[in-house]
Chain A
Amino acid sequence: MDRRLVLRLGLVGLDLGLLIGGLYMVLVYVPTAKDMGVVQRIFYLHVPLAWVGFLAFFVVFVGSIMYLWRRGRHWDIIAHSSSEIGMVFITLMLVSGSIWAKAAWGAWWIWEPRLTSSLVLWLIYIAYILVRSLTPEVERGARFAAVVGVVGFVDVPIVVLAVTLWRTHHSSLIIFEGGVAPAMMATLMVCLVAFTILYALLLMQMAAIRRDEEELARLRVILR
């Protein structure tokens, strides 16, 4: 137990360091983009948020498949926890994307391929979470959610394909133009790693909470 705690604390420390370092890089170190100005820096938050949102759904997918196959509680716990964290990150991605769109193009929303695909993913997340809560029986709810997780994830690449084809057909709004300077790349990498580790930590925390909740329910049953 002690070893795991040390590992956990180590990761938290590393992540804090990366987040603070990343923040410095985003706000100070990185050169300002030519056309868009300062607002372009939202990019360094926006992309990692999107990445985590999709990564979290991949974890939901794996957890769902394993749960349907093996029926271990821990698989459902992982999928459920990942869905809630992923949902938050995708929501933040959409909000930051919206603010960026307003700053750069004057509209609170643009039907740009990445934003649109993320919106559909957001809707699929909602479907996953709602199905679980709207099913009266708990085990069935977990099973149904797993089905949505599998079908939803398989859908994502097709959605991205269709949306991208659709938007390049109609207009060409590029979210960033020009070459990527090495300083920009480095900043992006730091932020990506920082957010990925953050996701892993949050996932572990959430899974522990779920496990505790089930333990609590078990204790309550014993005491009846």
Chain B
Amino acid sequence: MKFWRSVLAIAYKDLLSEMRTRETISSVVVFALLVIVIFNFAFGGNTEQMRLVAPGILWVTFAFAGVLSLTRAFIPEKEEGCLDGLMVAPIGRDAIYVGKMLSSLVFMLVVEAIALPVFTLLFNLDVFSPELVVVTLLATVGFVAVGTLFSALAVNTRAREMVLPILFLPVVVPVMIAAVSAFELALAGESWGAMSSWLQIIGAFDVVFLVVSYLVFGYVIEQ
């Protein structure tokens, strides 16, 4: 019980401080929209081509927006000395991980909730199905599970904004492949059965990395 209270306290603190300033969420949302628009120009506006590459564009956008928002997850903790405060408090390391992860998850889901409708609008895709939502949710959990761990690590290195993508993007390749493929299937009108193997991959990734990151997080923030 104490664990969950600490978790919610940490997540609430993050979300509250974000709601007050709204600086990061607005910049990440703007970034995501800009990326989508630029990709549109890059592909020359040929609608047939667009339909083919749309899932890829969307997930690249989400991956970069994710890196951007995860980078900021631990920087204030480090700079304001908040992390030391958290560690001294009677809160387990694991609660810090789960709390941070949950706040990052909510954050990313908000960004995606804004970007996804805009995306379907700009690309003239008339499909907005539950399959897309579920895939997005599962994939984001995977991003955040690994990203929170690596963000805490990156913040203690010399080139922290560069280190996070170098760590994060290769590890997250399976999620990217699966999410894009599932989106391709969903946009082609297929239903759950066709994309079941992709969902299994994302699901397995989520479970494995939630557990592994949870176990290993303590080693990253100690001392």
Contacts and interface: CB of A to CB of B under 8 A. Distances in A.
A166 B166 contact: no
Nearest to B171: A155
Interface in B192-223: 197-198, 201, 204-205, 208-209, 212-213, 216, 219-220, 223
A127 B156 contact: no
Interface of B: 146, 149, 153, 156-159, 163, 166-167, 169-171, 173-174, 177-178, 181, 197-198, 201, 204-205, 208-209, 212-213, 216, 219-220, 223
A145 to B, nearest CB: 10
Contacts of A161: 174, 201
A144 B173 contact: no
B204 A158 contact: yes
Interface string A89-126: 00000000000000000000000000000001001101
A163 B177 contact: yes
Contacts of B166: 123, 126-127, 130
Contact of A169 (B163, B170, B181, B223): B181
19 contacts: A126-B166, A134-B158, A134-B159, A135-B156, A136-B157, A140-B156, A144-B153, A144-B220, A147-B153, A155-B171, A161-B174, A162-B173, A162-B174, A162-B177, A163-B174, A163-B177, A165-B197, A165-B198, A166-B177
B212 A150 contact: yes
Nearest to B205: A158
B114 to A, nearest CB: 28
Contacts of B223: 140
A131 B146 CA distance: 16
Interface of A: 68, 120, 123-124, 126-127, 130-131, 134-136, 140, 143-144, 146-148, 150-152, 154-155, 158-159, 161-163, 165-166, 169
Contacts of B220: 143-144, 147
Contact of A147 (B170, B205, B219): B219
B219 A68 contact: yes
Given A143-B219, A158-B201, A165-B197, A148 B167 contact: yes
A194 to B, nearest CB: 30
Give the 6 A-B residue pairs with the shortest CB-CB distance, closest first: A162-B174, A123-B170, A134-B157, A162-B177, A158-B174, A134-B158
A144 to B, nearest CB: 5
A146 B222 CA distance: 14
Contacts of A126: 166
A143 B208 CA distance: 21
Contacts of A130: 163, 166
B167 A162 contact: no
A165 B153 contact: no
Given A162-B178, A169-B181, A144 B201 contact: no
A133 to B, nearest CB: 9
Given A123-B166, A166-B177, 11 more contacts: A68-B216, A123-B169, A130-B166, A135-B157, A143-B219, A146-B219, A152-B170, A155-B171, A158-B201, A162-B178, A163-B173
B171 A162 contact: no
A159 B153 contact: no
B201 A162 contact: yes
B173 A120 contact: yes
A147 B158 contact: no
Contacts of B159: 134
Contacts of B174: 155, 158-159, 161-163
Contacts of B171: 124, 127, 151-152, 155
Given A123-B170, A158-B201, A158-B205, A134 B219 contact: no
A147 B156 CA distance: 14
Contacts of A150: 212, 216
Nearest to B172: A155
Contacts of B177: 162-163, 165-166
B219 A151 contact: no
